[in-house]
Structure 1
């Protein structure tokens, strides 16, 4: 799961000008991103350095090919981003906190200068993220999720300073996953709409999926194609299960305005929906194992699943079919596709959502 970080220099300046009281939060953002940027070295320099481990050289060379492909074949930005590499010496770039009420999938939102309001708050220190989560649980009774993300985008704001670097948190991903990551993050430099996480993340997810299809078909070897197909099959089936469960939970939560005595029944229905989710996941795992492709990568997700977990997942999934439909409508032409997305971004939020929903209803991408 990936989230956007603010262009820190602009954010801090805007916060200062607006009299922002969250100085400590913005300061940790500045320090964290500065450390990430200062650790970055040019990819060409690392490839020429005899001290660079051979396996890292191979991954950096692959990332350089992926970066060039993003420009030549996907019409993604040709700029300073992803031409440098940072070894963060930790397992995540940042840790995000998401939270939702007990009877809603709508995420609590935090608002920032420049980038607007988003359904998460990010920290460079995992302990700080967990402290906020505990506070939200205790003070507001929210269901919370703390999750590490391997990358984030500064939306192109810092290309003048070297841009977003490749990171140790994802450089060793399998080939298809590495390409997916780069394509997703570069998409955020093409179009980003303040206060519309669903639009932004669904668009970037569509770009990654479509882009990886083309990369694997034209640039990758058979082993990379097989590895990606196996992993992506698990991911798609799990996401479909999560989507179905979100629908069930949403139907339950529509009844939350019932009188207080009915809340006990509401809680029972919620518990039943969550139990069905876990039972169906167990059946899915058994199906994978029987097919000779066992996978347990979602075990922790399922064990800890709550409204915040499902709310985060929705941002990455719900409008993807609509953007894939838009890509097909534009004849699979990447510049035309990006231009069409920019045109949607200029519309009022309700209008662009309505247009995307209509596209999704009228079209099945897998028939294109």
Structure 2
């Protein structure tokens, strides 16, 4: 057996090889053959970036028993293993493959996502991919490449935002490793991230970024609360809920201004007049955030608000939080039981997009 083949079998045990991996490879090959040069470059960097993460990964079990690994790293990896087990046993998430390996990366973030939106629309531009469908963003393993792509979109008239990503999910196509970029997270943030990404493996609706991210965000939040309880850390729950409340204050503020911008964009008026009204609203959003900070009702978002705001940047909030209240309502209606909740969410996911969104909006209205 060659060293390369032996290494591959360490990363991908034969028992874990799935036909969809082979199908995914075939789809990628066909796509590269048919795509233009820019698409070839994009998918090439994605394939190389993902392969590098897997190739350089090591089993958590080996890392935790290795005396040459710093004690703090071993301690954090043990916590990751505890969180993963809880995700499978208590939250009924698919936890048999992902987060059982560790990859050290030489940067703070693994990806940079590019968001784009028209000047007078709150709806993000969608980017479509084989297998996973369409997303409201496009990811790059190198920040410089993300910035170049964002500049090309701006040249076409789009507003853009480039946001860093500490971790992501391959939706079960690969066994995702835990990355060094997240080990320094607070315990609750680390748990929430793992629950969020595993939730994507459990339920993913093609072409509906907002549904998918809102579902994962709800699972992340309820899962983290339950994990603290199960870990005997009830005393940490008030601080966790307070931090979540401060986050929700910012999210609620941004979503409110997105609705106001949406109403503005629906009006008929000269472009220069609409542009002026938009600038006023974005300035009011900045001022409103500073007022929340002054009242100590929010914080930690200064860097996000310190840059000129635009539709693309605001779209990042809508994707992750818009339907969270609807999923909370669904969770209550299913007896706060994750098995029943997942089944109900899956049924909602099978609805046509328009019906799905109407149902989610109705749930939010009934909970207010």
TM-score (norm 2): 0.89
2:278 to 222, 245, 270: 270
C-alpha deviation, 1:265, in angstroms: 1.5
Name the Cα RMSD after superposition: 1.8
Equivalent residue for 1:310?
314
Equivalent residue for 2:218?
206
| Secondary structure at the counterpart of residue 117 of structure 1 | strand
Q: 1:92-122: CA deviations, max 9, x gaps? A: 1111111111111111111111011111111
CA distance in 2, matches of 1:122, 1:9: 23
2:85 equivalent to 1:81:
no
Preserved CA contact (<8 Å) 2:88 2:96: no
Equivalent residue for 1:157?
173
Moved over 6 A (4+): none
C-alpha deviation, 1:323, in angstroms: 0.8
CA distance in 1, matches of 2:286, 2:365: 29
Equivalent residue for 1:146?
162
Preserved CA contact (<8 Å) 2:116 2:125: yes
| Secondary structure at the counterpart of residue 169 of structure 1 | helix
2:128 equivalent to 1:125:
no
2:76 equivalent to 1:64:
no
CA distance in 2, matches of 1:11, 1:132: 25
Q: Which runs of 5+ in 2 are unaligned?
A: 1-19
C-alpha deviation, 1:252, in angstroms: 1.2
Q: 1:45-82: CA deviations, max 9, x gaps? A: 11100111111111111111111111111111132101
| Secondary structure at the counterpart of residue 200 of structure 1 | helix
Preserved CA contact (<8 Å) 1:10 1:114: no
CA distance in 2, matches of 1:62, 1:220: 14
Once the two structures are superposed, the pairs formed by residues 1-368 of structure 1 within 5 Å of their partners are 11=24, 13-18=26-31, 19-21=34-36, 22-138=39-155, 140-158=156-174, 163-221=175-233, 224-255=236-267, 257-258=268-269, 262-288=270-296, 295=299, 297-304=300-307, 305-363=309-367
| Secondary structure at the counterpart of residue 57 of structure 1 | helix
CA distance in 1, matches of 2:84, 2:203: 18
CA distance in 1, matches of 2:295, 2:94: 41
Equivalent residue for 1:4?
none
Q: Which moved more, 1:270-279 or 1:227-236?
A: 227-236
C-alpha deviation, 1:169, in angstroms: 1.3
Q: Which moved more, 1:36-45 or 1:216-225?
A: 216-225
C-alpha deviation, 1:202, in angstroms: 0.8
CA distance in 2, matches of 1:230, 1:361: 24
C-alpha deviation, 1:10, in angstroms: 5.1
Aligned positions, number? 344
Q: Which structure's relative contact order is higher, taking Cα pairs within 8 Å and 6+ residues apart?
A: 1
C-alpha deviation, 1:198, in angstroms: 1.1
Q: 1:279-299: CA deviations, max 9, x gaps? A: 1111111111xx8xx84x211
Q: 1:254-299: CA deviations, max 9, x gaps? A: 12x43xxx222211111110111111111111111xx8xx84x211
CA distance in 1, matches of 2:65, 2:277: 60
Q: Which moved more, 1:194-203 or 1:11-20?
A: 11-20
TM-score (norm 1): 0.89
Q: 1:189-220: CA deviations, max 9, x gaps? A: 11111111111111111111111121123325
CA distance in 2, matches of 1:270, 1:73: 46
Equivalent residue for 1:3?
none
Preserved CA contact (<8 Å) 1:87 1:168: yes
| Secondary structure at the counterpart of residue 134 of structure 2 | strand
Distance 1:234 1:17, change over 3 A: same
Preserved CA contact (<8 Å) 1:176 1:225: no
Q: Which runs of 5+ in 1 are unaligned?
A: 1-6
Distance 1:86 1:224, change over 3 A: farther
C-alpha deviation, 1:15, in angstroms: 4.0
C-alpha deviation, 1:359, in angstroms: 1.8
Preserved CA contact (<8 Å) 2:197 2:216: yes
